[in-house]
């Protein structure tokens, strides 16, 4: 069975690196655990590394985090369900009047007790669309929706947030995205609305931070998950200074090894016991030199072994560094064994 080896010390190091980069800008780090199924041990390593809160998207993850880490501020960054009751975070992100009303109803019915308890208004962040073309209220409707939320006694508007480079956003628009959320915060504050917190984005914004570029002074925090698990930014995938890219290592068995005909002559090919069911279409980077993926099916990864590659016999394990997409797929696959180094 393939296995995913997790190094909690390396995750702590990556979190310390990111928290340090943000601290130098007077920004706080909210650590995202959706890529690791809300694993409390990973969340604890992130908190020890400097994160001030934990964010996740799935109700089951938020419940296990709340049980394992009482007193830690939890953010529900997945938009609330209107059709059925959903878990409330200590801070819940909304992007529509219907979503805000669903949170208000849940709060009025008692809700889920967070670290601050279930009494009093529920704190919400207004999610704003700034160029990724995924979730978020359009910029021209921000003031109207923020006013409605602020006027609801069951809710407390604590800030605005955005997301970028998760769906359509490319490198050319990251600066415009962060400037847009800063402008939204300025506009709301000028209109007398409470905007204490401004979440400027995710691990994609770390590329600007690592380059030393200035960020708008309105920002108070970032939400990062990929950078903490994999040690790189999420825009150009460059390793962060001092970051570790070996915090999560995927190991798969060589189940077949033959020399096969190819356009450039016979080549040695390995068949690894891991495939789309475990990795989706996410890329992997081989630790050993000379290995190159040439394709995958549902259960197998087909790899060419060049002259620089040491001989890998059937039964041997090949190590890979997953991309974020393949990491999330592997961590959620029932066919991959997740194991923590040293535990």
At 107 the pLDDT is 83
Span 121-174, pLDDT tens digits: 999 999 999 999 999 999 999 999 999 999 999 999 999 999 999 998 899 999
Weakest mean pLDDT among 100-109, 317-326, 333-342: 100-109
At 110 the pLDDT is 62
The answer to whether 246 touches 320, Cβ cutoff 8 Å, is: no
DSSP state of 225: S
Distance of CA 306 to the CA centre of its chain: 34
d(CA 145, CA 197): 17
Domain 8-230 adopts which CATH fold? TIM Barrel (3.20.20)
Weakest mean pLDDT among 208-212, 264-268, 300-304: 264-268
At 307 the pLDDT is 78
At 295 the pLDDT is 96
In this model, does residue 113 exceed pLDDT 70? no
pTM of the model: 0.94
Work out the mean pLDDT of the chain and round it to a whole number: 94
In this model, does residue 69 exceed pLDDT 80? yes
In this model, does residue 304 exceed pLDDT 50? yes
DSSP 266-318: -EEEEEES--HHHHTT--EEESSTTEEEEEE-SS-EEEEE-TTSPP--TT-EE
Domain with CATH 3.20.20.10 in the chain: 8-230
Q: Mean pLDDT, to the nearest integer, of 229-247?
A: 96
In this model, does residue 114 exceed pLDDT 60? no
In this model, does residue 233 exceed pLDDT 60? yes
Scanning the chain, the segments in alpha helix (DSSP H) are: 8-23, 40-48, 59-68, 97-108, 142-150, 174-190, 206-210, 226-230, 276-279, 324-332
Weakest mean pLDDT among 12-21, 81-90, 101-110, 332-341: 101-110
At 158 the pLDDT is 98
DSSP 22-51: HHTTT-EEEEE-GGGTT-HHHHHHHHHTT-
Residue 342 pLDDT class (50, 70, 90 cuts):
confident
Q: Domain 248-340 classified CATH 2.40.160.150? A: no
Domain with CATH 2.40.37.20 in the chain: 248-340
């Amino acid at each position: 069975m393939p296995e995913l080896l997790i190094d909690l010390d390396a995750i702590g190091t990556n979190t310390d690196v990111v928290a340090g980069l943000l601290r130098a800008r007077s920004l706080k780090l909210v650590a995202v655990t959706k890529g690791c199924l809300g694993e409390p041990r990973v969340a604890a390593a992130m908190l020890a590394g400097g994160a001030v809160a934990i964010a996740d998207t799935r109700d089951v993850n938020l419940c296990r985090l709340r049980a394992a880490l009482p007193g830690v501020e939890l953010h529900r960054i997945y938009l609330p369900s209107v059709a059925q009751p959903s878990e409330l975070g200590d801070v819940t992100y909304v992007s529509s009047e219907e979503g805000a009303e669903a949170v208000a109803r849940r709060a009025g019915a008692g809700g889920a007790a967070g670290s601050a308890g279930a009494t009093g208004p529920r704190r919400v962040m207004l999610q704003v669309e700034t160029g990724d073309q995924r979730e978020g209220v359009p910029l021209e409707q921000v003031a109207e929706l923020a006013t409605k939320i602020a006027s609801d006694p069951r809710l407390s508007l604590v800030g605005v947030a955005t997301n970028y480079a998760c769906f359509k956003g490319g490198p050319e628009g990251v600066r415009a995205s962060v400037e847009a959320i800063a402008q939204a915060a300025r506009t709301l504050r000028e209109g007398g609305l409470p905007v204490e917190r401004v979440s400027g984005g995710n691990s994609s914004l770390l590329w600007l931070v690592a380059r030393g570029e200035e960020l708008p002074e309105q920002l108070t925090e970032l939400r990062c998950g990929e950078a903490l698990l994999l040690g790189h930014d999420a825009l150009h995938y460059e390793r962060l200074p001092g970051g570790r890219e070996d915090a999560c290592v995927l190991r798969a068995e060589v189940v077949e090894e033959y020399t096969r005909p190819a356009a450039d002559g016979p080549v040695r090919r390995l068949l690894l016991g891991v495939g789309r069911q475990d990795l989706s279409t996410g890329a992997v980077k081989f630790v050993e030199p000379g290995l190159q993926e040439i394709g995958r099916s549902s259960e197998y990864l087909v790899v060419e072994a060049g002259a620089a590659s040491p001989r890998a016999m059937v039964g041997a394990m090949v190590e890979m560094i997953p991309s974020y997409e393949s990491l999330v797929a592997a961590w959620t696959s029932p066919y991959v064994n997740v194991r923590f180094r040293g535990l």
